[in-house]
């Protein structure tokens, strides 16, 4: 990346160091031969910079990692088999029994289940806080042996906003922000003092629903520490998925520009609809943390959620009525998707956790795609009209 280069240009050039081909090669080998014992030993000693075994390092995966590091303004990055592989590896690499984690209540359901189950079972204390309350993270982090603070902004599923400056100023050894909904094109947590930025790159970074991959970006010393655990944890990224995600990065800027614009248009239209009781989108002036989002985001993202009149039954009818919009639980791809978080992404949480995460029974999460906005509005109008009692 050249000095003062724009981020959309970086998305095109990132991860291409030493490449002459315009498409990344896929290095499919799981292992490399050597000319003797000493060579093999030396390659193993080089760790993630060597060429011995693909669980330790893979050239295609490395290109993807370098591209993400450039987009995030980070020293380095590390890829995993999924976003959950990333968060689980980070937690168990950095935290030990007796340590304390502070995390927000408004998190992806899988992360909440990880913290409530395996993390607590391993003797790691967890405190959940409301990310929308100023000072909540810092106050909870005063507890002895606080090792890690976890935030997610915008949060899944109701788009709560955590203040990145507040998270970055916490004196805990490590702070992590799940920035999946925003992508590096809309916000860069590391610029706010956060230690680790995490993405389920399966989503908007890959962007085509054909790559299952997670990634973190951070300083090299953190990445090396997490890598040393990751080779034991085993959640190594596939070179095929890394190749697809690297391809996705090339169009990330233009996809996000279109999707953010359409999301803003849809959110404004939905907010005026008589069948919609609430719209959650940080780009709307009515969003309770709109001012914070405007300060720390360059665009407001392609995700929004709505609450429709009639609760669970109305959501069921809505999902059956949409035609262009596709019912599915992922996000960030070219198709507009809708899901009911309480029965999918946050399924299995108890009623208290569901309420704290804002996964209301009448809430639908919409991932805005690349279709024409007018066609999306027409489809949503048909579904909402059919939903009338």
Catalytic residues: 55, 108, 178, 203
Largest Cα–Cα distance in the chain?
A: 75
Q: How many CB atoms within 10 Å of residue 356?
A: 18
Q: How far is CA 13 from the centre of its chain?
A: 22
What phi and psi values does residue 47 have, to the nearest 5 degrees?
A: 60, -130
* Helix, strand, coil % over all residues of the chain, rounded to 5: 40, 15, 40
| Among 371, 342, 380, CA closest to 157 | 342
Cα torsion angle, 162, 291, 181, 314, sign:
positive
Q: Which residues contact 179 (CB under 8 A, 6 or more apart)?
A: 153, 187, 189, 197, 198, 199
Q: How far apart are CA 362 and CA 279, in angstroms?
A: 12
Residue 337 · residue 325 · CB < 8 Å: yes
180-213: burial string, b at 16+ Cβ within 10 Å, e else: bbbbbbbbbbbebebbbbbbbbbbbbbbebebbb
Q: Which residues contact 208 (CB under 8 A, 6 or more apart)?
A: 244, 247, 248, 333, 334
């Amino acid at each position: 990346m050249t000095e003062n280069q724009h981020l959309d240009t970086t998305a095109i050039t990132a991860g291409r160091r030493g490449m002459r081909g315009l498409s990344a090669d896929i290095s499919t080998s799981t292992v490399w031969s050597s000319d003797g014992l000493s060579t093999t030993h030396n390659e193993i000693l080089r760790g993630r910079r060597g060429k011995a075994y693909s669980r330790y390092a893979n050239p295609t995966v490395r290109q993807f990692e370098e591209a993400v590091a450039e987009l995030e303004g980070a020293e380095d990055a590390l890829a995993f088999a999924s976003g959950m592989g990333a968060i689980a590896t980070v937690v168990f690499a950095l935290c030990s029994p007796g340590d304390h984690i502070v995390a927000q209540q408004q998190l992806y359901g899988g992360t909440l289940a990880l913290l409530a189950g395996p993390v607590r079972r391993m003797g790691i204390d967890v405190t959940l806080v409301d990310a929308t309350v100023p000072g909540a993270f810092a106050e909870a982090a005063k507890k002895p042996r606080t090792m890690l603070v976890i935030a997610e902004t915008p949060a899944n599923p109701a788009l709560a906003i955590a203040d990145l400056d507040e998270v970055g100023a916490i004196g805990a050894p490590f702070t992590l922000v799940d920035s999946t909904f925003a992508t590096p094109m809309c916000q860069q947590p590391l610029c706010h003092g956060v230690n680790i930025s995490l993405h389920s790159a399966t989503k908007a970074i890959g962007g085509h629903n054909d790559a299952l991959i997670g990634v973190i970006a951070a300083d090299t010393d953190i990445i090396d520490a997490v890598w040393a655990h990751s080779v034991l944890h085993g959640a190594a990224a596939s070179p095929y998925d890394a190749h697809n995600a690297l391809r996705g990065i090339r169009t990330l800027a233009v996809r996000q520009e279109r999707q953010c614009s359409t999301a803003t248009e849809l959110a404004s239209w939905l907010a005026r609809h008589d069948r919609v009781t609430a719209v959650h989108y940080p780009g709307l002036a009515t969003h309770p943390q709109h001012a914070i989002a405007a300060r720390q985001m360059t665009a407001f993202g392609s995700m929004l959620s709505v609450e429709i009149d009639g609760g669970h039954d109305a959501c069921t009818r809505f999902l059956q009525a949409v035609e262009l919009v596709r019912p599915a639980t992922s996000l960030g791809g070219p198709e507009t998707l809708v899901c009911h978080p309480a029965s999918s992404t946050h399924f299995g949480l108890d009623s208290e956790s569901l309420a704290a995460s804002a996964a209301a029974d009448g809430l639908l999460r919409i991932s805005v795609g690349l279709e024409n906005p007018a066609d999306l509005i027409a489809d949503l109008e048909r579904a909402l009209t059919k939903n009338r009692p």
